[in-house]
Amino acid sequence: MKKILVILFIFGLMAIPAVSQADIYMKRKQHTDAVKIMGMAQPAIDVIEEIWITKKGLRSDNPQKTMIMLTDQHKVIMLDHATKTYFEKSLNMNDMMPKTADGKTPEESAAMQGMMKNMMKMDASVQPTSETKKIKGWMCKKYILTMNTFAGTTTNEVWATQDLKTDQKLYDKLASSVTSFMPDMGNTIKGIQEEMKKIKGVQVKSISTQNIMNQTRTSTIELIEYKEKKAPKNLFQVPKGYTKKTIQ
């Protein structure tokens, strides 16, 4: 499951805007509606997320977890704040695939690898619209983003603005560093990257609708703050007191 979280994190990077030459700090508010699946109630979730985007990499923080992508070291670090633990994963797709485990036949291991590859299949399509409106003082344009992953199809109503500075070259460099270490998914991620380029500027608001076992769940992400400022020196360091865990 943790391998899948890494994949989804990388997929999520495609929705982060290209940045200006300076470091970028973003704060976003996320709300997910309550839903009942297979008789089990999942409560509504409200989270404030902080994101830093720099030439070195990206960092996303919320009260429960932190995700760090270091493009120069070709790895992702994921921190769990409740247990004060963390683990690291290579961005090399071959390292993410399961190896032959004790007690498993080569046939079973091959079947496991096939299942993992199927779970990693994903694509995205963007449909620009002519609809515009102001959100938080920024003039925004509406896009319809459809994402398909192993978890199903998610439809997103995205409002993006070009009122904020961006630098497509730096974003392309970050995205290329991911695809170069994911050879089995290179064409897939490049395709997603090209689709995401259709969304011009910074995403100010997105409303996502996902169907899970005939139950609809809606999530909203709103941009609260977006500014250029120098990132902290220790931005990509694991905090003291956190224990490294090994994952298979």
Taking only the tens of pLDDT, the chain with its 248 residues reads 444 444 445 555 545 555 456 788 989 999 999 877 777 888 899 999 999 988 888 899 999 999 998 877 888 899 999 999 999 988 665 554 454 455 566 665 666 555 555 555 678 899 999 999 999 999 999 999 898 877 678 899 999 999 987 665 655 555 555 444 444 555 566 777 788 888 888 889 999 998 766 778 899 999 999 988 899 999 999 999 999 998 75
Domain layout of the chain by residue ranges = 2-244
Model's pTM, two decimal places? 0.75
Compute the distance between CA of residue 89 and CA of residue 3 in angstroms, rounded to an integer: 8
Compute the distance between CA of residue 239 and CA of residue 221 in angstroms, rounded to an integer: 27
Compute the distance between CA of residue 226 and CA of residue 204 in angstroms, rounded to an integer: 10
Of the candidates 142, 147, 180, 146, which has an alpha carbon nearest to the alpha carbon of residue 158?
Answer: 142
With respect to CATH, is domain 2-244 assigned 3.40.50.920?
A: no
**What are the percentages of helix, strand and coil residues in the chain, rounded to 5?**
25, 45, 35
The answer to whether 233 touches 195, Cβ cutoff 8 Å, is no
